[in-house]
Amino acid sequence: MFDMAERNLSWDDRMRSRRTASCGVAYNYSGISYPDREMPPFVQELAARIAGVVGHRINNCLANLYPDGTAKMGFHSDSSAGVVAGTTTSILSLGAPRVLTFRRRLRRDERHDMALAPGSLLIMRASVQEGWQHAVLAAEAAGPRISLTFRSLSR
């Protein structure tokens, strides 16, 4: 699945710390606008399977490619702008394992690490974005990883 995603997504190099790709409906993320782009069949299938788990439609997949341990994503909370109220953000991890670190927005010294194994699915409700920030910090000797992040966006 990692190789399929790496080969079949249209990767963008505008972010300094990692490569990104978006498919499905248009999405604005971290100051970058991604246009409508048809989901490849393998992403459509994954979106349908995840929609069955979370109980709502999914119409966008934002992918992040971390080629090695120097690639990272700083602490942030995902914007709720354009996201359908009451829906989740689902993260499917492919490739090498990495740690997703959470910290409270108001008490930043409180942190929790979550190991994301290959093939794992993390489902985040809106309340997680409201109370916490998350990051993928640099990690020595980490291999390549892709995260596929599924959302339901309003048009």
Domain limits of the chain?
Answer: 2-151
In this prediction, residue 51 has a pLDDT band, given cuts at 50, 70 and 90, of: very high
* 23 has pLDDT over 80: yes
Query: What angle is formed at CA 134 by the lines to CA 132 and CA 140, rounded to 5 degrees?
Result: 150
- State the DSSP code for 38: P
In this prediction, residue 16 has a pLDDT band, given cuts at 50, 70 and 90, of: confident
Q: Is the dihedral of CA 30, 36, 40, 44 positive or negative?
A: positive
Taking the C-alpha atoms of residue 77 and residue 55, their distance in angstroms, rounded to an integer, is 23
* 79 has pLDDT over 80: yes
Residue 74 CA from chain centroid, whole number? 13
| b/e sequence 131-147, b meaning 16+ C-beta within 10 Å | ebbbbbeebeebeebbb
CATH class of 2-151: mainly beta
Whole-structure pTM value:
0.93
Q: Provide the percentage of residues in the chain whose pLDDT is more than 70.
A: 100
